[in-house]
Structure 1
Amino acid sequence: MGYTGHRFDVNLSILFTELPLLDRPAAAAAAGFTAVELWWPWIDDPTPSRTERDALRQALTDAGTRLVGLNFYAGRLPGPDRGALSVPGEESARFRANVEVAASFADSVGCRALNALYGNRVPGADPAAQDALALENLALAARAADRIGATLLLEALNRPESPDYPLVTAASAVEVADKVNAATGLGNAKFLLDLYHLARNGEDLGAAIAAYADRVGHVQIADDPGRGAPGTGTLPLERLLDDLTAAGYPGWVGLEYKPGDRPSAESFDWLPYEARAARA
């Protein structure tokens, strides 16, 4: 199957960032893509104005691109933060204020996957208290996602780049998803499988796919080392994606890589043009 049999989307928070946010959907469409994803696009503002949300919705519509993945508010990303929902005080309050805003925006554009980054450990805070706060806020997010028919995603990050982030294995992220499902009874919390992050942690990617393919709600890829496009590192990404398909994963594969020194539009030469428009 190789790269031609999967449903790819472009992460517009890491690719096409040489352009203003509202110009990125059209740039992705010009490169041949019909599906995109985003981190929380307003970064420091968990509750952007309706005007700002309408403008992004219109940009997606005008470009003919479908938003298939969206992060809840996660603090400064890119930057030092790795989520807000387990961070005591103002940050977790900002996350809670964002939950209905993010779910409403996602619903308005037909997005059915919402990613909730767990947040860093905080010096001086009790890890058990952070975990209890996280579960409370994740249950809130899961219920909001359920109301729009969406999946709540939990992601493991890599320890070298995110040393204070506690979810650094596939098993740890799946464990949290299980706790959320047990707390809500909804069953809509799933694992965001990012092959780059797991590879950076030295995890056995084949074993992770075999163990958790049925728990995966979304996939993201970048090559390792370097977090570049497929083919710039050493990961056997074609084979790994085929393994996911063989294991029954039918969903989206987000391109969450850095384009390097090239313009983003020139970083897709590894993927045939005809394979970029996502199948329904």
Structure 2
Amino acid sequence: MTDIIVHLLLVILMPPLLLGIIARTKAVFAGRTGAPYLQPYYDILRLLRKGSVFSDTTTWVFRAGPVVTLAATVTAALLIPLGNHPAPLAFTGDMILFAYLFGLARFFTMAAALDTGSSFEGMGAAREATFSCLAEPTLFFALVVLARLTGSLSLTDMLTRAAAGNWLGTGAAMLLLTGGLFIVLLAENCRIPFDDPNTHLELTMIHEVMVLDHSGPAFGYILYGAALKLFVLGAFFIQVALPFKTGVGPVDWVVFIGTMILLAIAIGVVESIMARLRLIRIPQMLVAATILSAFAMLLMLR
């Protein structure tokens, strides 16, 4: 019961902190003081206190988009184990539900963007659909590799058993898989070099252009959902790339929190030393990620 409570607290409280750490890391590289680490919390709370403005041309789809997206991401967070502790929801085949929950969230985000009738938001939805088709195979190949390693179809068993011993025995496959997953982590969370969550240039935006018409609490749900998605996919990546387990409950929680903070710093460093890719280069990077994970799967099936 204690593990479930800690899991829920981390899912609720930690995601905005990751955004704050990334922003502060980028500020340090730029020679600036930067916003406080807790600034994302203030932004979300400020939006939740505001009113919403809805266009007369939109329908219930526009209003449902942020809510369904956040609900799907929260459910995915309950399926992912954190540290060496089982997930609150775990069953055989939950890895498929985990993947398609993000697909459901993406579908409603794109549907809400199209519901506005805006050509800019339609352009962003088209880009999102295209790039997600290239990113999803990497995740599924990763799930196949982990299922092969552990002999389980449950995320809890797959990720809690993905211990250092797998790196010793199948280091080449795990290294390829880690590279592919890191590329997808940046792409799925709209981070540089794939997208810039802080830009306001509609012609270069992918995700942000789809939420231009949202305001107030709806936009707050979107910001929190984005932070939560980063947290969930980051936890998945950490479990594969840095599977350090001590076997001591409280220590494992501390190790997990520490590795998530290090991941946020690493993302901030990547965004500070790299420029945004041209749009025609993004599919090439995503295909490269798929190839890396596919080779990892082939190494495991030999």
TM-score with structure 2 setting the length: 0.26
Identify the structure with bigger relative contact order (alpha carbons < 8 Å, sequence gap 6+). Answer: 2
TM-score with structure 1 setting the length: 0.27
More helix by share: 2
Instruction: Kindly name which structure, 1 or 2, has the bigger radius of gyration based on alpha carbons.
Output: 2
